[in-house]
Amino acid sequence: MDVALIALVVLWWALIVYAALGGADFGAGVWDLFAVGKMARKQHGLINHALGPVWEANHVWLIFLIVGLFNVFPSAFYALSIALFFPFTIVLIGIVLRGAAFVYRYYALDETGFFARSWSRVFSVTSVITPFFLGVAAAGVASGRLIAPDGVPRATYLAGMLTPFAFVIGAMAVALCASVAAVYLVVEARDTEHDEALTESYRTKALITGAITAVLGALGLLLSISEAPVIWQGMLARAIPVVIATMLIGLGTAVALYRRYYRIARVLIIAETAFLLGSWGLSQYPYIIPTRYTIANSANDPTVITTLIIGIVCGLVILLPSLYYLFSVFKLPYPIPGLRRPEQARQTQARKNNEMIVNK
């Protein structure tokens, strides 16, 4: 099998993981923006608590993606860097400001002070802007018009980015992040905070943003007929089952949320994200940037890619257990060595309580 394709699949997985983890970080920031009134303080607390230990690790997936892309497809990366100069610069500013803003607010000593409140605002506003422009960039790639007809990438050639399609996909990215985050926060609110009002509020939010994502997704699909013909054709040719699966999983998530099976909803929303991005990948195959750059014409030397894949495997051998440990300690209710005794007891108790809730 073609090593470049294997590497591309790995990168696409990283993209999915970034969307499921980093996307939720953005989404949490979106909810932070909408947190007003009496619940605001509790919501800020919940979001701080949920994001604190994991946000840095979540965002390394993006670095992995960038680095992986320029290693495996150097010439496509070159073209993307120039053609997407403006949206990427905005995304970069967003990521930097929101990362910094999050820690500044988290460690600010006086949470009602000017310092904490201003950074809090920066955090939530950039959390909306960043996924929007990531979506715009993705739509630009999908449109097939990112590179001017003469084949020279130009930052000033904005076809493919200033279109209704790009706007819809950008908005959909924000909605998707918000709905993923809402589902995670439902679980956090119920299992960690044991706060019923907060749980219910995020359940409603998850349902609403899920519906908005679905509507925008359908609109994007319709627009792609004229605005991203390569994607539309590719979808008809090979991605139809995945697209249908995405829709069904979306429905399943809504049902699980509605019936308050929150942990199931969490698994489903991750699957939903994976299938959504998977269907994009499948539809776009074999292009990296339609229609100029394909896997074949932009891939690096196969021996180099093989070395990279070996490097990735070695890296993952260290990374995956570490990541599992991180999430076990902070997010998952299963026993893991190294916990303090009181903490173990607390987790066991929490697990029993949840089982009781589910059984009732």
293 binds another protein, rule: CB under 8 A? no
In order, the DSSP letters of 77-112 are HHHHHHHTHHHHHHHHHHHHHHHHHHHHHHH-S-TT
Distance of closest approach, residue 43 Cβ to another protein, in angstroms? 11
Distance of closest approach, residue 177 Cβ to another protein, in angstroms? 18
Closer to another protein by Cβ: residue 164 or 315: 315
Distance of closest approach, residue 280 Cβ to another protein, in angstroms? 21
Q: What does the alpha-carbon distance between residue 186 and residue 43 come to, in Å, rounded to a whole number?
A: 11
32-61 positions binding another protein, by CB under 8 A: 41, 44-45, 48-49, 52-54, 56-57, 59-60
**What contacts 329, CB < 8 A, 6 or more positions away?**
53, 336, 338, 339
Closer to another protein by Cβ: residue 222 or 316: 316
Distance of closest approach, residue 341 Cβ to another protein, in angstroms? 7
Give the interface segment with another protein, choosing from 65-73, 132-140, 188-196, 207-215 (CB under 8 A). Answer: 65-73
306-325 positions binding another protein, by CB under 8 A: 307-308, 311-312, 315, 318-319, 322-323, 325
Q: Mask: binding to another protein, 322-351, rule CB under 8 A, as x and -?
A: xx-xx--xx------xxxxxxx--------
175-234 positions binding another protein, by CB under 8 A: none
Q: What does the alpha-carbon distance between residue 347 and residue 344 come to, in Å, rounded to a whole number?
A: 5
Closer to another protein by Cβ: residue 271 or 299: 299
Tell me which amino acid residue 245 is.
A
Is the Cβ–Cβ distance between 186 and 262 less than 8 Å? yes
Q: What does the alpha-carbon distance between residue 306 and residue 10 come to, in Å, rounded to a whole number?
A: 13
The position carrying tokens 């979808």 is: 235
6 binds another protein, rule: CB under 8 A? no
Residue-wise burial string across 226-239, b where 16 or more C-beta atoms lie within 10 A, e elsewhere:
ebbebbbebbeeeb
Cβ-based neighbour number of residue 136 at 10 Å: 26
Could you tell me the end-to-end alpha-carbon distance of the chain, in angstroms, rounded to an integer?
51
72-101 positions binding another protein, by CB under 8 A: 72, 74-75, 77-78, 80-82, 85-86, 88-89, 92-93, 95-97, 99-100
Counting residues that bind another protein (by CB under 8 A) gives 77
